[in-house]
């Protein structure tokens, strides 16, 4: 597909729309070559921190759900990073033509590639009334952003953590303390006797 080309999968409410995102969510970006480099390096560091956090959760025998949700965020971050790192080197520009794979020279250097987005769900289209604050008389589309599978993984992981956060904290409180020397669980009477 060339940039901007669409395939209507289910009428006008589920569309494969090929676009490239040069920056962050909702098309925001840091300007200039160094802005893109900074963003790519920041993504790599953030993904490393998330991956390390997932590793510590596994070592602490945290609940499986929390590990899965953090892993979704980690996998989504890595997916977008791979686009940023390699996409510009292995493809030509796709403006008004289909990109070529493995050209002599790609459209961007290492860490300067764009993230490919493709899922578009303009489920509701309408018009704000003139009295509506900020957007009066403007057209609106819900859901306007075009996103990819990696974005979906990140969003799903974050939403699940928000929805189930009270459950995770309760699990932490209910976990029994373990004696570092013996490996046995400590209960209240054991702790009181140890202190006496």
Q: What is the pTM of this model?
A: 0.74
CA angle 91, 154, 99 (to 5 degrees): 10
In this structure, are residues 5 and 16 in contact, taking their beta carbons and an 8 Å threshold?
A: no
Average pLDDT over residues 89-114: 89
Question: What is the per-residue pLDDT across 65-74, written as a single tens digit (0 to 9) for each?
Answer: 999 999 999 9
- Cα 13 from Cα 79, distance rounded (Å): 25
pLDDT for the residue numbered 117 = 92
3-state SS track over 121-160: CCCEEEECCCCCCCCCCCEEEECCCEECHHHHHHHHHHHH
- Checking if the pLDDT of 8 tops 90, the result is yes
In this structure, are residues 183 and 78 in contact, taking their beta carbons and an 8 Å threshold?
A: no
The band of 191, judged by pLDDT with boundaries at 50, 70 and 90, is very low
Question: What is the per-residue pLDDT across 12-42, written as a single tens digit (0 to 9) for each?
Answer: 889 999 998 876 665 556 666 677 788 888 8
- Cα 146 from Cα 19, distance rounded (Å): 8
Helices 64-82, 149-174: inter-axial angle, 10-degree rounding = 150
Tokens of 167: 């459950």
Question: Count of alpha carbons within 13 Å of 83, Cβ hemisphere only?
Answer: 22
**Which residue has tokens 């070592």?**
59
Is residue 83 among the annotated active site residues?
A: no
Given the residues 95, 117, 139, 188, select the one marked as catalytic: 117
Q: Closest Cα partner for 21 from 69, 87, 90, 72? A: 87
pLDDT, mean over the chain: 83
Question: What is the per-residue pLDDT across 136-190, written as a single tens digit (0 to 9) for each?
Answer: 888 888 888 899 999 999 999 999 999 988 776 665 555 555 555 555 655 555 4
Is residue 117 among the annotated active site residues?
A: yes
pLDDT for the residue numbered 70 = 95
Average pLDDT over residues 130-139: 86
- Cα 196 from Cα 193, distance rounded (Å): 5
Given the residues 83, 95, 139, 151, select the one marked as catalytic: 151
pLDDT for the residue numbered 49 = 96
Give the best-scoring range by mean pLDDT among 97-101, 132-136, 151-155.
151-155
Residue 143: asked if its preceding bond is cis (omega within 30°), the reply is: yes
- Cα 55 from Cα 102, distance rounded (Å): 35
């Amino acid at each position: 597909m060339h940039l901007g080309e669409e395939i209507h999968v289910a009428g006008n409410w589920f569309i494969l729309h090929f676009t490239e995102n040069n920056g962050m969510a909702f098309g925001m970006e840091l300007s200039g070559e160094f802005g893109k480099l900074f963003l790519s390096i920041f993504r790599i560091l953030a993904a490393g921190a998330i991956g390390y956090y997932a590793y510590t959760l596994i070592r602490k025998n945290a609940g499986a759900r929390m590990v899965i949700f953090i892993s979704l965020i980690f996998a989504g971050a890595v997916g977008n990073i791979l686009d940023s790192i390699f996409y510009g080197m292995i493809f030509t520009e796709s403006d008004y033509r289909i990109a070529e794979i493995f050209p002599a020279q790609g459209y961007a250097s290492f860490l300067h590639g764009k993230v490919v987005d493709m899922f578009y769900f303009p489920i509701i289209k309408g018009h704000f009334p003139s009295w509506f604050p900020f957007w009066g008389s403007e057209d609106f589309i819900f859901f306007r952003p075009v996103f990819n599978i990696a974005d979906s993984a990140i969003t799903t992981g974050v939403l699940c953590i928000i929805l189930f956060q009270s459950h995770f904290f309760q699990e932490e409180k209910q976990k029994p303390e373990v004696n570092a020397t013996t490996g046995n669980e400590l209960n209240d009477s054991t702790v009181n006797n140890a202190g006496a």
